[in-house]
Amino acid sequence: MARGRHALDHGELLTKTQAIKRANAPTWLIGQLSAKRRGEAVSLPRPRTAWIAWRDARRTVAYAKRTR
């Protein structure tokens, strides 16, 4: 969603690594996503991560509707 929000605001995509740094997520999740991107084996707590992703998606869609 960080990539989508940036694209809406600036008309360009971020790399996945840049998007992780700008993600609207708890610090522990950003750390785990960064580690996974580096190729480290990490175990993300699925229900908790899914809840955060769902909320972020809702916020991003609402933001897109407001800015259009």
Give the model's pLDDT for residue 46: 85
Q: Are 14 and 22 in contact (CB under 8 A)?
A: yes
**Rounded distance, CA 1 to CA 24, Å?**
9
How far, in whole angstroms, is CA 15 from its chain's centroid?
Answer: 11
**Rounded distance, CA 54 to CA 10, Å?**
23
Domain range list for the chain: 2-67
**Rounded distance, CA 60 to CA 31, Å?**
22
Give the model's pLDDT for residue 24: 79
Backbone angles phi, psi at 37, to 5 degrees: -65, -30
pLDDT at 58 over 90: yes
Percent of the chain with pLDDT over 70: 100
